[in-house]
Each structure stands twice: as C-alpha cells, then as structure tokens.
Structure 1
Amino acid sequence: MNPETAFTRQDPSGHPVPLVLDSPHSGTRYPADFSPALSLEKLRQAEDSYVDELYASAPGHGATLISALFPRSYIDPNRSVLDIDTALIDAPWPGPAQASRKTELGIGLIWRILDTGEPIYTRKLTVAEVKRRITQFHQPYQKAVKDALDAAHAHFGAVWHINCHSMPAVSSNISEEGPGKSRSDFVLGDRDGTTCSPEFTALVATTLRGLGYDVKVNDPYKGVELVRAFSDPAAGRHSLQIEVNRRLYMDERTRTRSSGFETLRANLDRMVKAVADYAREHGSHVCAPGHDHHHEHGPDCGHDHHHDHDHSGHSHGHHKH
C-alpha cells in the first residue's frame, strides 16, 4: 500500500485557525497482508467507530482534521514506534525496542490481543512485515499530524490539538481499572496537566458540561503517544485527548449508529466551535508584536491569516481519498 492510503487530511474550509484534530483509531480499511486469526467482526471491536464522522464539521470552523484509514489492530498510530512486543516477532528485532505498559497488556504498537483477551494471531509476525506496517502506516500518520501541528504553529505562533477517541461504555478485562466499571460520558486526558495548559482542558470540560455531559479528567484515560509526542505547552503547543462514550452514539454489539448519533455530532460541533474561537483569539495574541515568540514567525506574523495555502498541505495529493 502507498502511504497515501494511510490517512485522510481535510484542510480548513472556513477561516483557518491554529487547531488540529486527529482520529487515529477510526480506520476501517484492513490491509490484505494482515492475516489475523480472528474474524473481521471481532477485530472491529477495537475500532473507535465513526469518530472521524463525529468531528467531520471541524474544517468548517477552520481546523485541520486528520483521520487514519487503517485499523489500530493492524498497527496502532497512538503508540511509540519503540513500543514493540518482541515476543510477537519470529526473529530478533533489529532496532531499539522499549516495551511500555501497553505492550504488557497486549496492546502495544502491534496488538497481540483484543480487549476481550482473544489472541489476534496464531502465528509470529516477520520482522519485514512489522517494518512494513511501520513505514507504510504508522510513520505516515504520525508525520501527517506533526506536519499539520508544525505548520499551524509556524503560522500562528501557537497550536491546539485535539486527539479524538471513543471508549467502551464499560471497562474491559485488560483495563487498568479492572473490568465492569461504567464510564462517564467524556474523559479528557492531558497526562496530568503536562500536555496542554490547564485553561485549555478547563475550556473543553466546561463546554461539554454546559451541554449536559458528565466529564472526567485523566480518569481513567490520561492520553498516550500522540498527545505526549507533539505537545509542549511552554512553547505554545497544546494537546488534549478526548474520549467519548460509545453508548452516546452507537450500539456496541452491532456497531451501528444509534439515534443519539446526530445529537452527539451537533454537540461536538458546538464544542469544536468554542475551541476554534479560543484558538483564533489566543493564536493571534501569541503572534502579536512584542511577544516572546514573535521573532520565530517572520514578517507575516500578526497579519491576517488568509494565506492558508502556506500551511495547508498543498503537497498532499491524498486529501480527498
């Protein structure tokens, strides 16, 4: 597969703001070389189904939206490339490997099991196929997110990033908090205040609570690789993970959208608009003359931002795929 098939990128259709959303786990294109032992129906349990659709209106508010097309059960773009389960490979891994708690649970870079505990493979993977998954899917996706964040930061002096996920209504056997726990409507994760300003987390929490939702912060999800790798609040790079409860919009058994889907999508549109307004205001503030960072941005800093083609990914031929 070509890297173009790893993700879609939708650039702003509205006035561009320094806001990037990414949906790493909503992909449904299962590569032909996957060769799992489980049925597609079972593998789909790992998908954050329809999350890309829930946030589809974001470009209309000036945001960039990046969505993975491949499934996380094939390779997980929200993991470090080092998070390799060497026991799953048929030969010594030739590069560095640093297994995390996720790999211990069986859900590292390459998943060994589903949340149910069922093994995905009855075989070992070759070094070559793991490398191919990294170079054709994992790296292009992470690069797309990084490129979008870097471009917005260079243009506006700051950037806000929402990493979009969905969660089962009830915790599974491999959940850190143990099985059978009911989840709140939303869980926001900023890795205990390290990936974004407290103000940004509070804005999203307050907006969602104002829409009638129960919101928890860093409980039980704190955020994983994408918010960790690309955030630097002191430098104006703010990343927040958002988990939405699947019971709000789908039937987890049949994986079909429920009657609540459109209501949730409309409310997420309101939340994204609030964040876009915030990013527009605060991005231009950071870019104002006399700010500590203004020297990084050149003579255009502080001008209007209609030159969105400068950072809209014009070299990406795959926006519409």
Structure 2
Amino acid sequence: LYRDGVTPGEAEIARRVAHYWKPYHDRLEAELARLKAAHGYALLWDAHSIRSVVPRLFEGQLPDFNIGTADGASCDPEPASQVLRATKPAQGYSAVLNGRFKGGYITRRYGHPQDGVHAIQLELSQRTYMDEAPPFTFREELAEKVRPVIRHMLTTLLDWAKPNRGQA
C-alpha cells in the first residue's frame, strides 16, 4: 500500500484512526440505527471498484460485478440472489455472488439480517467505466452502459425490502 520509506508510523496511524476511521464508522453505525428505527430495517450498499486483473491477489480476470454477502451472513439470501439476477439482462457483463470478494469489513461488521440490517458489497471491475492503464481515463460511453445496471441492482434491492420490511 505504501512505498518503501513512506509507511506511516504508529502515531500517524493512530491519528488517522481517530480522525477518519472512527468518525466514519460511528456515523455509519448511527445512520443504520436511525434507518432501522424509522423503517424497521436498514439496507447497506457498500460499493467499490477494482482493477479487473490484480496478479498479486488472484489469477485471471475478475467478473464485472462482484457481489458479496459474506457467504450469506450479512444479507438475507433472497435479495442477494435478486441483485445478482438483476445483472443478467445486461449484455456483455459478467457477475458472481460471493466469489473472490465475499464482502469486506463493512459488510461483515454491519450486516445482520436476523436483526433487519442487510449489507451487500459490490466490487465493480474498473474496466466497466474506465481505462485500467495510465492515465486511467474515465470513459463516459462505458459508464453510460453500466449505470443502468447498477441502478437496476439497487432498485431490485429496494423493491425486495418494501414488502418484506427487511425481515429475513
């Protein structure tokens, strides 16, 4: 993550945790509690992007949509399956549920479907919206194609929650 010689020391790490990590997680936890109190459930969509090929992490190329629920521990299986199915009509894209990226810290920490808090992680392959080589150019024509797919995934998740009120 850091170049040799520029790794932060213990004091800098502690400062970053206190100034960035802790306030972020405190606010996220409070917002999830607020949503659950207001609606009886909360949905957490944790989205990131990654290069499609990362040799130091895995062989081969990642699918375009990597959906993770910590193998079902962070989200009821039905909405997760529906979100995966929402990618299928999209021509030319690939998708997987709980493949290489099963959900990171946020998904595992905050997703508790038995308590009405459902967390899904999306690890989106960067090739769906940008050039993955320098100068890493954003490609509007690619983004225009992937936006409706992501919108459909989110709408599908919201549609599931309405009648079910997020209860597993």
TM-score w.r.t. length of structure 2: 0.88
Give, as a single letter, the amino acid of the residue that structure 2 aligns with 1:270.
H
Deviation string for 1:198-222 (max 9, x for gaps)? 1011010011112333211121111
Report the Cα offset of residue 270 of structure 1. 2.4
Equivalent residue pairs, number: 164
Give, as a single letter, the amino acid of the residue that structure 2 aligns with 1:265.
R
CA separation in 1, counterparts of 2:113 and 2:138? 36
**Structure 1 equivalent of residue 107 of structure 2:** 227
Report the Cα offset of residue 191 of structure 1. 1.1
Report the Cα offset of residue 128 of structure 1. 2.1
Contact 2:131 2:137 in 1 (8 A): yes
**Structure 2 equivalent of residue 214 of structure 1:** 94
Give, as a single letter, the amino acid of the residue that structure 1 aligns with 2:11.
A
**Structure 1 equivalent of residue 79 of structure 2:** 200
CA separation in 1, counterparts of 2:80 and 2:151? 17
CA separation in 2, counterparts of 1:123 and 1:169? 27
CA separation in 1, counterparts of 2:18 and 2:83? 34
Q: Verify: 1:127 aligned to 2:6, yes or no.
A: no
Report the Cα offset of residue 241 of structure 1. 0.8
Cα distance 1:124–1:246, how it changes in 2: closer, same or farther (>3 A)? closer
CA separation in 1, counterparts of 2:49 and 2:9? 31
Report the Cα offset of residue 124 of structure 1. 5.2
Give, as a single letter, the amino acid of the residue that structure 2 aligns with 1:201.
A
Unaligned runs of 5+ in 2: none
Deviation string for 1:276-306 (max 9, x for gaps)? 22223322x85xxxxxxxxxxxxxxxxxxxx
Identical columns (%): 26
CA separation in 2, counterparts of 1:270 and 1:125? 41
Give, as a single letter, the amino acid of the residue that structure 2 aligns with 1:160.
L
Q: Between 190-199 and 264-273, report the one with greater CA deviation.
A: 264-273
Alignment counterpart, residue 148 of structure 2, candidates 248, 255, 266: 266
Alignment counterpart, residue 279 of structure 1, candidates 150, 161, 167: 161
CA separation in 1, counterparts of 2:7 and 2:155? 46
Secondary structure in structure 1 of the residue aligned to 2:3: coil
1:181-200 matches, within 5 Å, as 181-200=60-79
Contact 2:64 2:125 in 1 (8 A): yes
| RMSD, aligned α-carbons | 1.8
Higher normalized helix content (fraction of residues): 2
Give, as a single letter, the amino acid of the residue that structure 1 aligns with 2:86.
T
Deviation string for 1:228-251 (max 9, x for gaps)? 111111111111111111111101
1:19-98 matches, within 5 Å, as none
Give, as a single letter, the amino acid of the residue that structure 2 aligns with 1:271.
M
CA separation in 2, counterparts of 1:281 and 1:121? 53
**Structure 2 equivalent of residue 245 of structure 1:** 125
Secondary structure in structure 2 of the residue aligned to 1:221: coil
1:164-175 matches, within 5 Å, as 164-173=47-56, 175=57
CA separation in 1, counterparts of 2:6 and 2:142? 40
